[in-house]
Chains A and B, each alone.
Chain A
């Protein structure tokens, strides 16, 4: 743990972009910053890059003040969600631009150029202009430019969001391979998609309204989201949340639905709770009945929005299943897969036993 962020706050007028962010980050590995649009992800990355000066707080690396170092001397790379390249330069000149600025010898420049060119498959494109490339190729050039130099950290701000689905899948795997190959470089990757965070592995940092909600290993955050916010952000579709009670050894969701008390709720006392269940863990068939409000087919799965007695339930099932709006359905909420959150603080109090 070498990067220390202490109480970093960024305000613009009355808008608070980062609200007292305090955390420590390792000097190598991948950190995925996940949060909704406007959660402060870009601001956090720009503060790390030196492009935004925080109003208060500190950023240090092994005790050395990083905020005193301007962006052009901070040894960072950054890739934006818009494909930013230098329009007036060829792909080759784009990639070597940072090397030339750092005054590297031509032989070393050529060597590094051929390394990243091969890594990202850019060789056939070197003499083209960025405007002649597809979006995916442009983003590869931007990544090449940030990988080619010796940097302490690499920042990627939703780099795949503007690409089509196929390309996203392909680049995602490429990115992970490259990130995990660089050993002494911290990669900070921001995204809105839990799936990307899972694929990138490493640490996950859940950001919401400028505040850090949770930091931890991606598996831990997935298994034990710290509160309802983390549970919503780190699940896609967002985790279903329902108000309910534990009463007389039973779980009551809404007013009518009564479930068996699962083993992992044994320590919970009677009272009000918020119960959560993943869309993928609610299953079709059972005794709780409702109606289809909306059905979306997402490639290999079908996402159903159901009107249930206790509220709206989102259910994701494998395969393509045809449901008409208004169809009656019955579902089961497996008690073993229920999360429980405190009704007031909304913090996690019980999570399913991991498998």
Chain B
């Protein structure tokens, strides 16, 4: 049993890896197929099983016949996700520090209620927010614009960054703040010079969550835009016509997931340290 255990473990890891990797392989092979290659049945090995073609990829960048341009939604998605993540990270971190370190009292409402208020924004189903957002952006004249989407995404991502950062700040001993103040730091300097430099792991986690949620959102990207602005998830779905173009969908899905994979590799060392749970 002692010797069997590592083997079982390895087998379990391999099995799980297969589950995770299989869809990517499937998408990768499919993206190099033509319509005939896809309908001909399951084939996996290029040049042997099927004849690879770049048609799907070319189509996404506007050089094939009847194609769409995926570059522009990609850029829009990047701009919207990064701007909204950055704004909500800055605002969320400031709010979280306040909620973690200072007491607020307005009648019966205290810090925990405020924190819950932020987090509760994510409890209700997004559908509830669709009409209010639609009307408000309409009044502001920001429907179908990048700016409008950024505002909405900030509202959606702020609870995430507040939630993660409150938890993170609560894990930093208050004595660190007190020591900084005794050493001559005003409350803001304490935050800026002492707490923030020690909060990188928390900021990374909050940032990743914001980027993932922002990048993957389909619902608001779909309901708040029409023709002028299009985000990646909507663009991908719009490829779907009477005949499902599996090859194009596969290629665009890979394009859409690529940035997240890159980010995952970049920040792996922060996640690896076991810093997600905060530090003592």
Give residues in A with beta carbon < 8 Å to B: 46, 49-51, 70-74, 76-78, 80, 82, 84-88, 97-98, 101-102, 142, 145-146, 149
Contact = CB atoms under 8 A, between A and B. Distances in A.
B182 A88 contact: no
Contact of A71 (B175, B176, B182, B197): B182
B86 interface: no
Interface stretch (B24-32, B49-57, B183-191, B247-255): B183-191
B158 to A, nearest CB: 26
22 contacts: A49-B182, A50-B182, A51-B178, A70-B181, A72-B184, A73-B184, A74-B182, A76-B182, A82-B175, A84-B173, A85-B179, A86-B176, A87-B198, A88-B194, A97-B183, A98-B182, A101-B183, A101-B184, A101-B185, A101-B189, A142-B179, A149-B184
Contacts of B178: 46, 49, 51, 71, 78, 84
Contacts of A80: 175, 179
A163 B229 CA distance: 63
A72 B175 contact: no
A86 B197 CA distance: 10
Contacts of B176: 84, 86
Contact-residue bracket for chain B: 10 to 19
Contacts of A101: 183-185, 189
Contact of B182 (A72, A87, A102): A72
B179 A84 contact: yes
Given A46-B178, A72-B189, 10 more contacts: A49-B182, A70-B181, A71-B181, A71-B182, A72-B182, A72-B183, A82-B173, A84-B173, A88-B198, A102-B184
A64 B17 CA distance: 70
Contacts of A76: 182
Interface of B: 173, 175-176, 178-186, 189, 194, 197-198, 279
Contacts of B194: 86, 88
B184 A98 contact: yes
A187 to B, nearest CB: 15
A53 to B, nearest CB: 12
Contacts of B182: 49-51, 71-72, 74, 76-78, 98, 146
A77 B184 CA distance: 10
Contacts of B185: 72, 101
B124 to A, nearest CB: 33
Question: Which 3 A-B residue pairings sit nearest by Cβ, starting from the closest?
Answer: A101-B184, A98-B183, A71-B181
A174 to B, nearest CB: 21
Given A84-B175, A84-B176, A86-B194, A51 B183 contact: no
Contacts of A87: 198, 279
Output the residue of A50, A76, A77, A101 with the most chain B CB within 10 A: A101
A85 B183 CA distance: 11
Contacts of B180: 86
Contacts of B279: 87
A86 B173 CA distance: 11
A88 B195 CA distance: 9
A189 to B, nearest CB: 16
B83 to A, nearest CB: 28
B182 to A, nearest CB: 5
A328 to B, nearest CB: 51
B263 to A, nearest CB: 24
A97 B173 CA distance: 19
A149 B183 CA distance: 9
Contacts of A50: 181-182
Contacts of B184: 72-73, 98, 101-102, 149
Output the residue of B180, B189, B197 with the most chain A CB within 10 A: B180
Contacts of B197: 88
Nearest to A76: B182
B179 A78 contact: yes
A49 B183 CA distance: 11
A77 B180 CA distance: 10
Contacts of A84: 173, 175-176, 178-179
Nearest to A102: B184
A71 B186 CA distance: 8
B187 to A, nearest CB: 8
A293 to B, nearest CB: 40
Nearest to A81: B175
Contacts of B183: 72, 97-98, 101, 145, 149
Contacts of A78: 178-179, 182
A45 to B, nearest CB: 11
Nearest to A155: B182
A86 B196 CA distance: 11
Contacts of A102: 184
Nearest to B196: A88
A51 B183 CA distance: 12
A82 B179 CA distance: 11
Output the residue of B181, B185, B194 with the most chain A CB within 10 A: B181
Output the residue of B178, B182, B189 with the most chain A CB within 10 A: B182
Nearest to B182: A78
A97 B198 CA distance: 15
A125 B17 CA distance: 45
Contacts of B189: 72, 101
B218 to A, nearest CB: 39
A51 B198 contact: no
Contacts of A86: 176, 179-180, 194, 198
Output the residue of A51, A77, A142 with the most chain B CB within 10 A: A51
A143 B186 CA distance: 21
A321 B215 CA distance: 74
A72 B189 CA distance: 10
Output the residue of B176, B184, B189 with the most chain A CB within 10 A: B184
Output the residue of B178, B185, B198, B279 with the most chain A CB within 10 A: B178
